[in-house]
Amino acid sequence: MPRTRRILLGTLPLAMALLTAGCQQSADNAQAPAANAADASKYLSQPLVKDIYTADPSAHVWDGKIYVYPSHDIDGPTAEDDLGSHFEMRDYRVLSMDKIGGQVTVGPVALDVKDVPWADRQMWAPDAARKNGTYYLYFPAKDKEGVFRIGVATSKDPMGPFKAQPQPIKGSYSIDPAVFTDDDGTSYMYFGGIWGGQLQRYANGKYDPNGSKTDLEQDDKPALLPRVAKMTDDMLEFAETPRPLQIVDEQGKPLLGGDHDRRFFEASWMHKYKGKYYFSYSTGDTHYLVYAVGDSPYGPFTYKGRILEPVEGWTTHHSIAEWDGRWWLFYADTQLSGQTRLRNVKVTELHHNEDGSIRTINPIIGGAAPKSAAH
Ligand code: FUB
């Protein structure tokens, strides 16, 4: 199935969407999204910014302020395919806000692919971390050979500009880095993604350029797993060889490759709640955000359920952050454009139940989000 899922849109003018946005914005050199006539009222929340396209939001709260590190979507010439070749992003812009629902500032270019010596194209989903007054931007990009690596860039300002290290992180591969810092100050990177994210091409330990374009193609065998590695004290390298992060069902059995409703696809995120580790991710071609819970940052993690039903657009990618004593889900859909390659980030409240489970969110008001709608 191609990584494309166009939607039919209504006929309301863009002005209506702007009126119901609930957020203002400021931006340098902003690229205005095309007008879209979607009925804004059917969405659970509205785009955080409307003058550039953004996706894959990684949110952090630093000194009481909220910073969001998204992909910066652009309308490139490449046709849509299963490898995500149409996600042709070339730079990053950081969003910031003093409070949820407040004015959103869109920063200037924080890192451009032309300033990353090893990178060639496709600046995909980033994340950021802070340590000892330095901010670290982690990002996947294809190198000159077309292989995804993960790079790191540093700045003294959370909005950037960031300066990239000359080489990708040694031993890094695939996409979607998420860096989690535990209460003891140790940081871990979670990463990986199948299909266009190339994780399946490392099935035998090293990159196979002729490897599968999707997954292991063995539905009755354990699914491919995300990776985790502890970071070095300087946050610039892996302190150990990345290892697979086990995700099992309630019986302790590994999720299988054919279990597309639950198996890992991409978009790793980690948050800690009441002493438990919550690893969340996207199921990709079934379009769910789901989560699994464990007792250690290395797992194993037991699958627990869905966080978000399918959004409009093929991809779904999120982050979870605590602000002002409440938890928030940052996610994205294609409300503004109706096109998978041109997404817009959003935020909505996330609730943990008494038993630690997460209440499933439906991004469409009153929408049943039937599985058939996700294909
Ligand atoms: O935005 C490009 C890619 O699409 C991301 O890296 C994936 O997580 C998916 O959102």
Which of 5, 71, 89, 198 should be mutated for ligand 1, with most atoms under 8 A from CB? 71
CA 343–ligand 1 middle distance (angstroms): 10
Question: 47 preceded by cis ω (within 30°)?
Answer: no
> 289, 308 in Cβ contact below 8 A?
yes
Label the pairing between strands 243-244 and 187-191: unpaired
Distance CA 234, CA 221 (A): 38
CA 340–ligand 1 middle distance (angstroms): 10
23: confidence class by pLDDT, cuts 50, 70, 90: very low
CA 239–ligand 1 middle distance (angstroms): 26
Confidence check: pLDDT of 169 > 90 = yes
The whole-number pLDDT of residue 19 equals 32
Question: 244 preceded by cis ω (within 30°)?
Answer: no
The whole-number pLDDT of residue 204 equals 85
Is-catalytic flag, 56?
yes
Distance CA 26, CA 3 (A): 32
367: confidence class by pLDDT, cuts 50, 70, 90: confident
Sign of CA dihedral 158, 237, 317, 246: negative
CA 184–ligand 1 middle distance (angstroms): 30
Where are the strands (E) in 242-314, listed by range? 243-244, 247-248, 266-273, 276-282, 289-294, 301-308
Kindly state the average pLDDT of the residues 230-258. Answer: 98
Confidence check: pLDDT of 201 > 60 = yes
Name 190's bridge partners.
178, 228
Block residue for tokens 């860096």: 179
Q: Whose CA is nearest to atom 5 of ligand 1?
A: 125
Q: Whose CA is nearest to atom 8 of ligand 1?
A: 267
Kindly state the average pLDDT of the residues 31-43. Answer: 69
Catalytic residue among 80, 127, 176, 266: 266
Nearest alpha-carbon partner for 200 in 174, 178, 181, 177: 174
Which of 176, 288, 340 should be mutated for ligand 1, with most atoms under 8 A from CB? 176
- Token reading at 60: 């952090």
- Token reading at 322: 């605590």
Nearest alpha-carbon partner for 226 in 285, 152, 174, 149: 174
What share of the chain has pLDDT > 70, as a percent?
88
The whole-number pLDDT of residue 2 equals 53
Residues with CB under 6 A from ligand 1: 55-56, 71, 84, 87, 124-125, 175-176, 193, 266-267, 315, 317
- Token reading at 11: 């006929």
Q: Whose CA is nearest to atom 9 of ligand 1?
A: 315
Label the pairing between strands 53-62 and 25-26: unpaired
The whole-number pLDDT of residue 276 equals 98
Distance CA 58, CA 347 (A): 11
Nearest atom (ligand 1) to Cα of 56: 10
Sign of CA dihedral 99, 280, 53, 45: negative
Q: Whose CA is nearest to atom 2 of ligand 1?
A: 124
366: confidence class by pLDDT, cuts 50, 70, 90: confident
pLDDT tens digits, residue range 76-107? 999 999 999 999 999 999 999 999 999 999 99
Judged by average pLDDT, the poorest of 34-43, 214-223, 303-312 is 34-43
Nearest atom (ligand 1) to Cα of 316: 10
Confidence check: pLDDT of 31 > 70 = no
Domain ranges of the chain: 37-350
Distance CA 250, CA 189 (A): 25
Report which secondary-structure segment, H or E, holds 15: helix 14-19
184: confidence class by pLDDT, cuts 50, 70, 90: very high
CA 354–ligand 1 middle distance (angstroms): 32
The whole-number pLDDT of residue 368 equals 59
CA 215–ligand 1 middle distance (angstroms): 16
CA 98–ligand 1 middle distance (angstroms): 26
pTM above 0.85, yes or no: yes
Kindly state the average pLDDT of the residues 105-116. Answer: 98
Is-catalytic flag, 266?
yes
- Token reading at 51: 């003058």
Please determine, looking at this structure, whether the domain spanning 37-350 carries the CATH number 2.102.10.10. Answer: no
Which of 73, 266, 345 should be mutated for ligand 1, with most atoms under 8 A from CB? 266
